[in-house]
Amino acid sequence: MIDMMNTKIFFALLFLLPLITVQGNSQKPRFDKAAFYNAMASDNLESINTQLNILQGTSISEKEAYEGAMLMKKAGLMSKAKEKLSLFKTGRLKLEAAIKKEMANIEYHFLRLIIQEHAPKAVNYSNELENDSLLIHTYYKTLPEVVQQAINDYSKKSKVLKPL
């Protein structure tokens, strides 16, 4: 009788444990492109860190480009020069690697344009402003709606990217 009960408990746990694990994993915040672009548009360190944490826990194909851009955005909000430079370099390597891997990804060019337009001259990161702007204008209609909205919002305050 006890063996039968132990067997039932064992099988019940065997089937319930994966369900509990799956349910626990669904509590992780999911990557949301609109929230990402809101953080990019803000100077709110907390929202930037939130996006970086979400990106670290995801496996989306754009992860490297998004992390790179967000790290460079964060660099601009740091007070210590050494930390600014370190974050910027790390972010630059990630974003440029993503662009090199997918040259035709216009969203990556938009991310780079955002950073280049605000990067200090000392980091020498503004060589592709005109090219990125041209690519964005040319292929704007092919981009997802959320990215088009981010471009529209950004272009209203940009000196390089004119409203579309």
Q: Name the pTM for this structure.
A: 0.82
pLDDT of residue 21: 45
Interatomic CA distance for residues 72 and 49, integer angstroms:
12
With a cut of 50, which residues of the chain have pLDDT below it?
A: 10-14, 16-17, 19-24
Q: Kindly give, in sequence order, each residue whose CB lies less than 8 Å from that of residue 118, ignoring residues fewer than 6 positions away.
A: 76
Query: Could you report the per-residue pLDDT of 118-155, keeping only the tens digit for each?
Result: 999 999 999 999 999 999 999 999 999 999 999 999 99
Q: Residues 99, 109: contact at Cβ < 8 Å?
A: yes
> What's the whole-number average pLDDT of the chain?
89
Furthest CA-CA distance within the chain: 79
Tell me which residue has tokens 């915040």: 29
What H or E segment, with its residue span, contains residue 107? helix 106-118
Interatomic CA distance for residues 155 and 5, integer angstroms:
67
DSSP 156: T
Query: Could you report the per-residue pLDDT of 73-82, keeping only the tens digit for each?
Result: 999 999 999 9
